[in-house]
């Protein structure tokens, strides 16, 4: 005497979110009335039910119950083949328990959830974004990211290009949008784009969701117990929308300012500077001519008839300065023995640039030394702060401080003198730069050091030596 039970189908196929059913027939081969408890065992037990779950049979009779499979559509319901068993336990004779089994195939489905952050970026040439994706399907899947744009203004790079995600796993890639050409002047340009996130296609061109042997979940013809809900819907590919706002490298007001500065410089070099130099030259030539035309005063003769020797070191007030015996060649100078004023007609135009670079929070000095035997008449100094650095610059001529200015107050500054500043031999025109914050040039990247250029223009003349 035994208890017999048999499932209606040897194999079942069910799609997550769908329903599949089969039958279980229980027969009482005992000679007594027996009650049977029906319980699903195995990996499918969580979403499989038996209706009804308890039956009572007279001897020699049988009854058919329904086994209903309804796996939820979630990543926890893994795709694959799983055994399904129904334990038939007699109440009076539990030792006669039997467990009929069948195989259940859970079909795979694909579902992706993706997001792009930030949605909008601003920049001169490129914008960087993060694309995150989560596999909500029940099978491992490869995920590909395909950026696209309506025009050809942007190029894209995705790192890494593909991801391999297990069910319930998340991943992230970096998306870079780069403009193909810069905008130098004008208004910002907005470039919208899209990133399509979808399953990776197989090498043979088939969709990885397609199954074999009638187990694709698209119909019930190979699974009589499946209901129409078991069909696998076509997965939708998330489309992420983004935008890159490309900014002009140079603002419009800077173009106007540069045009005005160029016009002022042209006007200076074409009109003002020649007139100033001509006036200064005429005044110098007149002064030299007067000096040559004026006769030297006769030497004083004492009462005894012996000529007196010339006094040494007399000041303009007629007082003699103790210890002085050397004439000077100019303001603040220290002329050597026999040094005198500049020789007329020996002047030559010169222009030198002092290049000073100072690291952040440090100071640096550059200079132009006046050659020995020469005297320099400085007529023009132009200071260039082309990076927009912050700090101080101090310009000295010999022992005389010409100017101290804050770097952040100018980009180009020029100084001109009708009466030139005279720098004696062996002394120098010096530029001392104290760097507080290096500026940002037109390239858009902050410079590592402060960088100033000081152009010195004037006349170099020979020094008249005494006998």
pLDDT at 342: 77
Least Cα distance to 358 among 428, 252, 445, 454 occurs for 454
Look-up of token digits 């610059």: 393
Cα-based angle 332, 337, 458 (whole degrees, multiple of 5): 45
- Whether the bond between 12 and the residue before it is cis, its omega within 30 degrees of 0, is no
What does the block give as tokens for 208?
Answer: 């990885």
pLDDT at 202: 59
What does the block give as tokens for 429?
Answer: 């025109």
Find out whether 416 and 380 touch, Cβ atoms under 8 Å: yes
**Which stretches in the chain have pLDDT values below 50?**
209-222, 225-231, 296, 298-339, 467
| Angstrom distance (rounded) from CA 28 to CA 391 | 102
For residue range 456-465, list pLDDT tens digits in order. Answer: 999 999 987 7
Look-up of token digits 């399509």: 196
pLDDT at 140: 94
> What's 254's DSSP letter?
H
pLDDT at 281: 73
pLDDT at 163: 93
pLDDT at 206: 52
Residues linked to residue 393 through DSSP beta bridges, in sequence order: 405, 433
Q: Compute the Cα dihedral for 38, 42, 47, 48 and give only its sign.
A: negative
Cα radius of gyration (the chain)? 49
Find out whether 460 and 350 touch, Cβ atoms under 8 Å: yes
Provide the whole-model pTM. Answer: 0.47
pLDDT at 172: 94
| Angstrom distance (rounded) from CA 354 to CA 15 | 81
Burial string for 344-362 (b: 16+ CB within 10 Å, else e) reads: beebeebeeebebbbebee
Pairing of strands 11-14, 101-106: parallel
For residue range 337-367, list pLDDT tens digits in order. Answer: 434 577 787 889 999 999 999 999 999 999 9
For residue range 187-230, list pLDDT tens digits in order. Answer: 899 999 999 998 887 555 555 544 444 444 444 444 554 444 44
pLDDT at 168: 92
| Angstrom distance (rounded) from CA 42 to CA 298 | 135
Distance of alpha carbon 231 from its chain centroid, rounded?
A: 47
Region of residue 8 (phi > 0: left; psi between -120 and 50: alpha; otherwise: beta): alpha
Find the length of the chain.
467
Least Cα distance to 229 among 216, 239, 221, 219 occurs for 219
Indicate the average pLDDT of the chain: 82
How far from each other are the two terminal CA atoms of the chain, in whole angstroms?
149
């Amino acid at each position: 005497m035994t208890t017999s039970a048999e499932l209606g189908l040897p194999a079942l196929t069910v799609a997550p979110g769908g329903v599949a059913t089969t039958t279980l027939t229980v027969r009482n081969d005992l000679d007594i009335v027996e009650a049977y408890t029906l319980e699903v065992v195995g990996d499918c037990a969580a979403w499989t039910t038996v209706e009804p779950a308890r039956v009572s049979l007279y001897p020699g009779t049988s009854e058919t119950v329904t086994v209903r499979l309804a796996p939820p559509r979630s990543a926890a319901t893994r795709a694959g083949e799983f055994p399904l068993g129904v334990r038939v336990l007699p109440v009076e004779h539990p030792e006669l328990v039997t467990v009929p089994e069948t195989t259940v195939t859970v079909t795979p489905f694909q579902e992706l959830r993706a997001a792009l952050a930030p949605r909008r970026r601003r920049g001169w040439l490129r914008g960087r974004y993060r694309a995150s994706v989560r596999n909500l399907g029940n099978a491992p899947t490869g995920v590909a990211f395909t950026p696209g744009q309506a025009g050809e203004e942007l190029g894209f790079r995705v790192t890494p290009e593909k991801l391999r995600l297990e069910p319930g796993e998340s991943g992230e890639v970096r998306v870079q949008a780069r403009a193909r050409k810069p905008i130098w002047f004008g208004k910002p340009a907005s470039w919208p784009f899209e990133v399509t996130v979808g399953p990776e296609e197989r090498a043979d061109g088939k969709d990885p969701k397609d199954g074999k042997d009638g187990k694709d979940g698209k119909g019930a013809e190979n699974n009589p117990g499946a209901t129409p809900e078991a069909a696998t819907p076509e997965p939708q590919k998330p489309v992420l929308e983004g935008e890159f706002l490309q900014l002009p490298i140079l603002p419009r007001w800077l173009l106007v300012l540069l045009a005005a500065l160029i016009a002022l410089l042209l006007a200076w070099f074409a009109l003002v500077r020649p007139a100033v130099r001509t006036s200064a030259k005429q005044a110098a030539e007149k002064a030299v001519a007067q000096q040559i035309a004026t006769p030297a005063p006769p030497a004083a003769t004492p009462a005894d008839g012996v000529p007196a020797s010339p006094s040494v070191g007399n000041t303009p007030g007629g007082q003699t300065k103790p210890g002085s015996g050397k004439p000077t060649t100019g303001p603040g100078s220290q002329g050597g023995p026999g040094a005198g004023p500049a020789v007329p007609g020996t002047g030559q135009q010169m222009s030198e640039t002092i290049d000073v670079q100072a690291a952040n929070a440090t100071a640096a000095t550059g200079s132009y030394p006046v050659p020995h035997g020469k005297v320099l008449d400085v007529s023009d100094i132009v200071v260039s702060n082309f990076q927009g650095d912050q700090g101080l610059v101090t310009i000295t001529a010999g022992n005389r401080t010409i100017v101290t200015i804050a770097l952040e107050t100018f980009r180009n500054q020029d100084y001109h003198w009708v009466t030139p500043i005279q720098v004696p031999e062996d002394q120098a025109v010096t530029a001392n730069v104290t760097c507080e914050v290096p500026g940002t040039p037109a390239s858009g990247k902050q410079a590592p050091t402060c960088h100033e250029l000081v152009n010195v223009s004037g006349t170099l003349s020979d020094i008249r030596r005494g006998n």
